[in-house]
Structure 1
Amino acid sequence: MPRPAKPDNEAARLKALHSHQILDTAAESSFDDLVTIAAAICGMPMGAVSLVDAERQWFKARIGLDETETSRDVAFCAHAILDPHEVMIVPDARDDDRFRDNPVVTGSPGIRFYAGAPLVDVDGMALGSLCVMDHEPRDLAPYQREALNALSRQVSALLELRRVSRALRLQLQEREWYEDQLSRFSDELELQNADLNEQVRLDPLTRLPNRRALGAALEQTLADGQPFCLALLDIDHFKTVNDTHGHAAGDEVLVQVADVLRATSAGFGLVSRHGGEEFAWLLPEADLERARIQCEYLREAVAFASEAMPVTISVGLARRAPDDTVGDLMSRADKALYAAKHGGRNRVVSG
């Protein structure tokens, strides 16, 4: 049985994995639910969230498996992480030279079919996989493969939320505020994971929530009756980037800006791609001045992060008013964005 190769970025990958401080932690229902959904969609008796450590794979969540970990040498997932961009399918392990004499194939739990979608963090590191298995040779239908991929992105998002939440706890002085925010974000994420329909609410390029997800979040937040602000952000002179450097470069700029927005927001509120070169940020329980300061910080972070070419953003900001509809709020934020762009760009304007 050949031992699985190690990725070229193994040292950095292990550092990223350990930064999450999740190995050997207790079971969590949010991870368990995703494994249950994956196994149900694919019609499999076994499934797991597997994290590949230096010498072992450890299961954060599992179904149909007795062991909590195995040696990395026998781990199918150790092979799956070698290509972070593809779902690895093994239709029949007995017909695959890598696995035919693997102890988990010839003995318990008797794996014959395997499918694993890599869990990739925000820096592109494959930390493990969301996998499903069967005791018989099988294959996945295209829709099952897409669903497994989509659910693996949700596991990755949950891992990132968990990491960011831990960092917030170390930074925030007011424990009561922190616990309230953590509970809110966790509840929202569990609601999203409970409904597979949420998988279609991610923008495929930036991996941010899309316009549909933003609309649903705005409707829910308005219904809750809580104060909040909405910021619309537009990349300045984006057409010039596409015309001068090509659409591939334009896509790189969009991904770069999305990464900065994701990192700078640090899990506070909802950051989404609203369409084209426009993004949106829903800031819950924020007054206009606090939201303006947050947006100024975000604007500076985007400008500072630019490397290959200078990139700036203009921001239009609006606060929820009594009896607002989604359309009313979007209209005021859009007018503020228009004023920011026509006032010289690279600025924040409140509407």
Structure 2
Amino acid sequence: MAFSLVAQALAGKSIHEPANAEQSLQDIIQLASYICDAPVAMVTKADDTELNLIAKLGIAGHSVLRRESFCGYAMEAPNAVMVVPDASLDSRFNTHPMVASAPGYRFYAGSPLIDPEGFVIGTICVFDYVPKQLNQKQIDSLQALSRQVIAMLELKKLSEQLHLTSLTDALTGVNNRRAFDQKFEAEFSRWQRTGQPFTLALIDIDHFKSFNDSFGHAAGDQALSEVASLFQQHCRNYDFFARYGGEEFVLILPGTDRVSAYKTLEKLRLVVANHEWPLRQLTVSIGLASAEKFNDKKHLLEAADQVLYKAKTQGRNQTGVFSDS
């Protein structure tokens, strides 16, 4: 953490100003550049064939082939900083394009990034255009920065996992009510801004209470998950499907008028109706309403709910469509 605060100070930022993961990585490589007195610094992250430059200073480009990189050699010795005082005198690199021609690098130092499982996932490294050497304090500092990078990447991964968990229904694995609320707000705002229509559909499993009463809640949970899976598999890849609550789901169909939405929802309804259910046949009732009829998202949601209720009272296993009449 101390390195991050120093880097922010070097960058002219207040240490009280929050920094996102990308900015924090930039701060770290700026500090690496400062410590090693090198104009070029970067953090690389490896895949099977390439090293992706996830933070960089003084260099263009986004990736380099792993087998052609200085860092590929550095990653082979995970417990040490690889220092190349003069690449033009090193048989591994003296014919390398970045040495033999532009930009004409001479000095390199790279510290491997080692994740908590012990795998080398990349490097933090610096380049210079003139030959030189690092002292032990600089080498130790570069290794310390590599640990800071790993800590930052792990924190980012954890944050992404927590964010995903907060938007995912624990039982079915689909989007949850919170995720729907965010998406619904965004789609309605876009409709008001651009006039691009979308349709909202509420979906309810028919006679689900009696299913739970007959077969138990464990079987009910399994049925909920199976219905969610069927919709997730068969809805269009740009539609947004979520569990709304209880046995009710919701589907947002962007750029879709109510006629097209009705055809899509009928196909999905039949997928459920024709599925081979092990305990008892399950069906769904659906209510849909198009945003083009409403200037308020609350009224749009109420309209979809009204036609869903009508579909259930008129026999279930059908799709109701809101109309002005």
Q: Which TM bucket (shorter chain)?
A: 0.5 to 0.7
Provide the residue aligned with 1:228 in structure 2. Answer: 198
Amino acid at match of 1:253: A
Cα distance, 1:131 vs structure 2:
10
2:54 paired residue among 59, 63, 70: 63
Amino acid at match of 1:136: R
Q: Is the 8 A contact 1:39 1:132 kept in 2?
A: no
| Kept after mapping to 1: 8 A contact 2:287/2:305 | yes
Give the Å deviation of 1:301.
1.4
- The question of whether the paired residues in 1 share the 8 Å contact of 2:187 and 2:254 is answered with no
Letter in 1 for 2:226: Q
Structure 2, unaligned runs of 5 or more: 1-19, 30-42, 57-62, 68-74, 81-109, 125-144
User: Which residue of the partner structure matches residue 253 of structure 1?
Assistant: 223
Any idea what the Cα deviations from partners look like across 1:210-255, whole Å, max 9, x if unmatched? 3323432343243232222211111122223333444333333233
- Return the TM-score normalized by structure 2: 0.53
8 Å contact kept, 1:202–1:213: no
1:113 aligns with 2:115: yes
2: CA distance, partners of 1:256 / 1:131: 41
Q: Which residue of 2 aligns with 1:275?
A: 245
Contact 1:38 1:47 in 2 (8 A): no
Q: Which runs of 5+ in 1 are unaligned?
A: 1-35, 51-56, 71-101, 117-129, 154-198
Structure 2 partner of 1:219: 188
Distance (Å, rounded) in 2 between the aligned partners of 1:220 and 1:135: 43
**Structure 1 residues 131 and 245: CA distance shift in structure 2, 3 A:** farther
The corresponding residue for 2:14 is: none
Instruction: Report the Cα offset of residue 303 of structure 1.
Output: 2.6
TM-aligned CA deviation for residue 289 of structure 1: 2.0
1:44-63 Cα distance to aligned partner (Å, 9 max, x none)? 9867585xxxxxx3569552
User: How many Å separate the matches in 2 of 1:302 and 1:240?
Assistant: 18
Residue number among 319, 335, 339 corresponding to 2:290 in the alignment: 319
- Report how far residue 300 of structure 1 moved: 1.0
The C-alpha deviation readout for 1:307-331, integer Å capped at 9, x for no partner, is: 4343321101112244431111111
SS at match of 2:78: helix
Contact 2:112 2:146 in 1 (8 A): yes
Which range is displaced more, 307-316 or 326-335?
Answer: 307-316
Aligned length: 219
Instruction: Kindly provide the amino acid, as one letter, of the partner of residue 284 in structure 1.
Output: P
Q: Tell me the equivalent position of 2:257.
A: 287
Identity of aligned residues (%): 28
For residues 157 and 216 of structure 2, the distance between their equivalents in structure 1, rounded to whole angstroms, comes to 32
Query: What's the TM-score, normalizing by structure 1?
Result: 0.50
**TM alignment of 1:192-203, pairs within 5 A:** 200-203=166-169
Name the aligned partner's letter for residue 234 of structure 1: D
State the one-letter code of the partner of 2:54. Answer: I
Structure 1 Cα separation of the partners of residues 51 and 76 of structure 2: 22
Residue 147 (structure 2) pairs with residue 136 (structure 1):
yes
Cα–Cα, structure 1 residues 226 and 239, in superposed 2: closer, same or farther, change >3 Å? same
Q: Within 2, Cα distance between the matches of 1:49 and 1:104?
A: 15
User: How large is the RMSD of aligned CA atoms in angstroms?
Assistant: 4.1
Distance 1:131 1:311 in 2: 51
* d(CA) in 2 for partners of 1:206, 1:263: 13
* 1:333 Cα deviation after fit: 0.7
Q: Which moved more, 1:105-114 or 1:334-343?
A: 105-114
Is 2:198–2:257's contact at 8 Å kept on the other side of the alignment?
Answer: yes
* Pick aligned residue for 1:337 from 301, 308, 314: 308
Determine if contact 1:104/1:111 at 8 Å carries over to the other structure.
Answer: no
Q: CA deviation at 1:276?
A: 1.8
Closer, same or farther: CA 111–245 of 1 in aligned 2, 3 Å:
farther
Partner amino acid for 1:315? Answer: I
User: Is 2:111–2:123's contact at 8 Å kept on the other side of the alignment?
Assistant: no
What amino acid is aligned across from residue 105 of structure 1 in structure 2? Answer: P
Structure 1, residues 41-83: CA drift from partner, whole Å, max 9, x if none? 9x99867585xxxxxx35695526976568xxxxxxxxxxxxx
